[in-house]
Every structure is written in C-alpha cells, then in structure tokens.
Amino acid sequence: MSPPPLDGALAIQTFGLGKSFGKRRAVNDLDLEVPHGSVFGFLGPNGSGKTTTIRMLLGLAAPSSGSINLLSRPMPAAASHVLPRVGALVEGPAFHPFLSGRANLVRMDCADTTSDPATRTMRVEAALEKVGLGKAAKLAVHAYSLGMKQRLGIANALLRERELLVLDEPTNGLDPQGTREVRHLIGSLAREGTTVFVSSHLLSEIEQMCTHVAVMSTGNLLAQGTLAQLRSGGRSRLTLRTPDAGLALGVLARLGLEALPDPTASGADRVLRSKLDSGAPEAELIVQELVAAGVRVRGFAVEAASLEERFVALTGEGFDLAQ
C-alpha cells in the first residue's frame, strides 16, 4: 500500500513511554509517532512489548514512565473523551457462541453505557455490512470460521464512527483466506479515512497492508517510518553479468566492492554479486569504470535490500514470513 496524503497530525504519540513488571522492563523509552491517516504496522517478535504498549495506549494498563497522546489528547486523563473515537480489538472479545453474530453485537452495544439505543439497530447492521458479515449475521457464532469471528470483533470495534482503530494481532491464528479477509477489511477502512494501528509478528502481513511501520525488539523501538524509509536505510545489492569476471572483480575491488561469483549461474557469462552500503560509489560510476576497463557488461542491476533483510539487520533475528 502506498502512503496516503497525510495532514501532519499524529493519531498516536508517545514520549519516553515505559512499562516494568517487577524488574522486567517490557517497554522501554518508547517515542512512537503514528501519522493520522496511516495504516501503521507495529512489528516485533513475540514478547517484544507490543501488547503491553497497546494496553497502555488504550488506558488498560498504567505506564511506569512517559506519556501518551491519543488523537491529540493526553491519556489516560482524557480517556472518556478520546476512547469513544477509538475502536479496539485486543485479546479477541468473548462472544456468546450460541447467539448469532447480530445478537452478539447488540449485546455488546447494550453493555456500552455511552451508546445510543435509538440508533443501535442501524449501527449494528452497518457494522455487520462493513465487515462483510451481513449475510452471516443470523448464524450462531459457533458456526463462524476464525476469520469471521475476527471480523465480528472488528465489527464490534466499529459500532460507532471511529477515527482510530487499534488491532492487536488481528490475523493471528487465521488461515490464508481469513488473513486475506482481515487484510482487505483493514484496507477498505483505511480508504475511508480511519487511521489503523495494527500489531503483528509477521513481516509479510505488515508489508502487504501498511503504509508505515515501527519495529520493536525486547521492549525497544528500533526504527519507525514509512516502508520506503525503512527500506532505504538498508543496504542494496549489485548484480553484474559478464564474460570477463576476472577483470570485473579487479575493477570492483578497486572501487572498494567485494564481489562474489554466483555459483549457480551457468553459460559463458558469469554473475557477480556485491553488497552496496551507503558509502559505495554510484551505480553509474561503477558501470563507467567497468566499461572503461574493457569489461563487457551484459547485465547490471542494483536492487534495494528487502524489508526482511532490513529487519534481520535491525533486530538480529528472523521474522516469520508465513504463519
């Protein structure tokens, strides 16, 4: 997803946010900036502090240090003003299995003392339609797939107009079909202008549905920005195809590039690969030098590092690419 036009406002901002459980520091000095209008991926391995952060954002846990602005109002001080504008899916809501999806939403809305009973029926139907459960609304929830239950959870978060949606691992445990359903739903909510803050331990999820990302590891924020900004912070890679490998290796070495032949390449041409870090010469200069030295350049490409490579470099650990 490409970043939307942002108005510069922040939907979520934290300053030095921290949370300790006894001696254990679950979240450490977190400065989060979530632009209004973004689909913001909160990415980190299990145990990196995502749920704890989300609980603090929503006023479900008290910070040990730091402060939070949610929709430009301080939390938890302004909770009663802010929270009605924020929908949340944290630790999957407990639905009554023998009631229909619709009846469950009605129950949930009745339990919300601030909701308007006069508009209840209309709001419940609108939320069911929005998550694509209009047709299944009369089925008992025990007959729902996990993806449908997750969408019902999101419908619950959408029982009123929301400016911000906070979703904790909404695709966790879903099969590929359920994951696609939730991803499409997030995309359509974002297109309607809702800011979505979504946590995941799955890099591929974040990459497919988010405009922005923050990377957490053991309670620390390692990086945040647009996906493109994160990618550009990484190394890129050069690939050269030539029949003059020996000559090319010499030229590249003179330019400070350590190239390795690709052992899987076949045919008369050899394929050489080299990492390009930020101090490497421009691609144009490399080609110029190769040609000037008489290297027959039959293929030349510079590819940006993948997000996965970037995250592994940041966190020192691999991310699951699939469920």
Site residues (CB under 6 A) for ligand ATP? 21, 24, 26, 44, 46-52, 169, 201
Q: How far is the CB of 216 from ligand ATP (least distance, A)?
A: 7
How far is C-alpha 9 from the geometric centre of its chain's CA atoms? Answer: 19
Alpha helix ranges (H) inside 8-158 = 50-57, 79-82, 101-111, 120-130, 146-157
Give the residue with the Cβ less far from ligand ATP, 110 or 321: 321
Q: In this structure, are residues 230 and 206 in contact, taking their beta carbons and an 8 Å threshold? A: no
Q: How far is the CB of 311 from ligand ATP (least distance, A)?
A: 14
Q: For residue 124, which of 95, 87, 152, 91 has the smallest C-alpha distance?
A: 152
Give the residue with the Cβ less far from ligand ATP, 93 or 261: 93
Q: How far is the CB of 52 from ligand ATP (least distance, A)?
A: 3
Q: How far is the CB of 50 from ligand ATP (least distance, A)?
A: 4
Distance CA 108, CA 69 (A): 27
What length is written for the chain?
A: 323
Give the residue with the Cβ less far from ligand ATP, 51 or 242: 51
Distance CA 291, CA 282 (A): 15
For residue 267, the one-letter residue type is: G
User: For the packed helices 120-130 and 146-157, what is the interaxial angle rounded to 10 degrees?
Assistant: 140
What are the residues whose beta carbons fall under 8 Å from the beta carbon of 119, sequence distance 6 or more?
Answer: none
Q: How far is the CB of 229 from ligand ATP (least distance, A)?
A: 22
Give the residue with the Cβ less far from ligand ATP, 46 or 266: 46
Q: Which residues pair with 228 in a beta bridge?
A: none
Give the residue with the Cβ less far from ligand ATP, 46 or 278: 46
Give the residue with the Cβ less far from ligand ATP, 15 or 21: 21
Q: How far is the CB of 63 from ligand ATP (least distance, A)?
A: 13
